[in-house]
Amino acid sequence: MVSAVRSSDARRAAAAVLDPELRVLTIDDLGVLRDVTEDPATGRVTVTITPTYTGCPAMDVIRADIRAALTAAGHADAEVVTVYAPAWSTDWISEAGRAKLAAAGIAPPGPAGPAAGRPVPLTLTVRCPHCGAADTEQVSRFGSTACKSLWRCRACREPFDHLRAF
Amino acid sequence: MEYLLGLGDDALVAAQRLGEWVTVAPELEEDVALANIALDQLGAARLLLGYAGELEGAGRDEDALAYLRSDREYRNCLLVELPNGDFATTMAKLLLLSAYQLPLYAALSVGADERLAAIAGKARKEVAYHLDHASLWTVRLGDGTEESHRRMQAAVDELWPYTVELFAADPAAPVDPAGLRSAFLANVEPVLETATLDRPADGWGPDGGRAGLHTEHLSYLLAEMQVLHRAHPGARW
Ligand SMILES: [Zn+2]
């Protein structure tokens, strides 16, 4: 058996797939895309991804979008493999991804640090992505998706999403 | 396999109960929060039941295990199948469940079974947030008004006996539940104290869930959860 090799054009195609819930980020920006390999003998492409959250409903869409992107790039024989370890962390979001989030009005996450589990959590300050003020308050610990919380800026009064450190 | 069913059924039944709050939670933000927590639990349940089905090797997938087992074949603890009650009861349940799941998943995440370790490592991060959420509400209600304090204390008192079952010794399990109790207490006791709530005394607790002996509440929950799949096998939309 010939071992699989990294495939740059297949990787480019998979890396351009957008996250269905954070449409400004690609799955590569997000750190969901882990690996893309190609079997030189058969041409079969294997894409490895990891979910942000175990119950993330976007994963089925992501898998379908990857297959469609690869087919369009000439790799019709593609398999998408999902792995769970190491567990995804917001620390894997690229610098480019953080800049795109901020530009879209979503406050990027701070460092995830060690796994939580403190009995009484402390809340860190989140800067307003609209005006940059630090005078903000959390409105809801959960936002429109599992990975976001909802905040409000006391300076400019605008509400905004914050991708919480995870 | 039985052990995995216990883990997966805890998560699945908890998800189903939490989902009952959607559209009727005290505020919109909490509606979203409980739905997201339910989704996390459901995600873990799917992975755990999928793995259990593969280990069994009889061709049952996650759907077959979720939708086509009877109540007597479910291995969840009694705590998760109890009715939601008022919001304080739901938060007390979530506090006790997540305070138990957190050290459990942490121990499993460094266990010998790599597949289970990966699932547990993922679920652990999510459950830590559930524990934070339940802790905040427990403090807010416990150290709130006279009425909210009374209800929160009543909820903790009512549910405390059901935690006995969680820590019944099982030396053959990948992680012996008996060894998790001190970590559980370390998660719960400071929260109760901050919430000005009394920690109930330990005593007898009802059990049987892990052996398939459930309260009638589970039967009604499963009837609702399974009716569509049983009436229309393989239905999709
Ligand atoms: Zn602002």
Full pLDDT tens readout for chain A, 166 residues: 446 777 789 999 999 999 998 889 999 999 999 999 999 999 999 999 999 988 888 899 999 999 999 999 999 999 999 999 999 999 999 999 999 999 999 999 988 865 444 444 455 689 999 999 999 998 888 877 778 888 999 999 999 999 988 8
A133–B contact, CB cutoff 8 A = no
pLDDT for the residue numbered A121: 47
CB contact under 8 A, B46 and A142: no
B124–A contact, CB cutoff 8 A = yes
- The pair of three-digit structure tokens given for residue A163, joined into one six-digit string: 């991708």
For residue A137, the CA-to-ligand 1 centroid distance in Å is 11
Which are the contacts of B105, defined by CB distance < 8 A and separation ≥ 6? B120, B121, B123, B124, B127
Select from A21, A52, A53 the residue whose CB has the most chain B CBs within 10 Å, as the one to mutate to test that interface. Answer: A53
CB contact under 8 A, B44 and A117: no
* Of the partner residues A51, A83, A142, the one whose CB lies closest to the CB of residue B33: A142
Measured distance CA(B80)–CA(B90) in Å, rounded: 10
CB contact under 8 A, A140 and B32: yes
Find how far residue A107's CA is from the centre of its chain. Answer: 14
Number of C-beta neighbours around residue B162 at 10 A: 21
B195–A contact, CB cutoff 8 A = no
Which amino acid is residue B125, in one-letter code?
A: K
Mean pLDDT of B74-101: 98
* CATH-assigned architecture of domain B2-231: Up-down Bundle (1.20)
Q: Are A90 and A111 in contact (CB under 8 A)?
A: no
Structural domains of chain A sorted by starting position, each given as residue range(s) with its CATH number in brackets: 5-82 (3.30.300.130), 94-163 (no CATH)
B193–A contact, CB cutoff 8 A = no
Select from B12, B18, B31, B32 the residue whose CB has the most chain A CBs within 10 Å, as the one to mutate to test that interface. Answer: B32
- Asked whether the predicted pLDDT for residue B81 surpasses 80, the reply is yes
- Closest residue in chain A to residue B15, using alpha carbons only: A55
| Shortest alpha-carbon distance between residue A156 and chain B (Å) | 22
| Distance from the first to the final alpha carbon of chain B | 31
Sorted by where each begins, the domain ranges of chain B are 2-231
For β-strands A78-82 and A45-49, DSSP reports them as: parallel
DSSP structure class, residue A2: P
DSSP structure class, residue B75: -
pLDDT in tens, B163-218: 999 999 999 999 999 999 999 999 999 999 999 999 999 999 999 999 999 999 99
Question: Residue written as tokens 């058996």?
Answer: A1
Residue A80: phi and psi, rounded to 5, are -110, 120
pLDDT in tens, B3-35: 999 999 999 999 999 999 998 888 888 988 999
Q: Are B4 and B55 in contact (CB under 8 A)?
A: yes
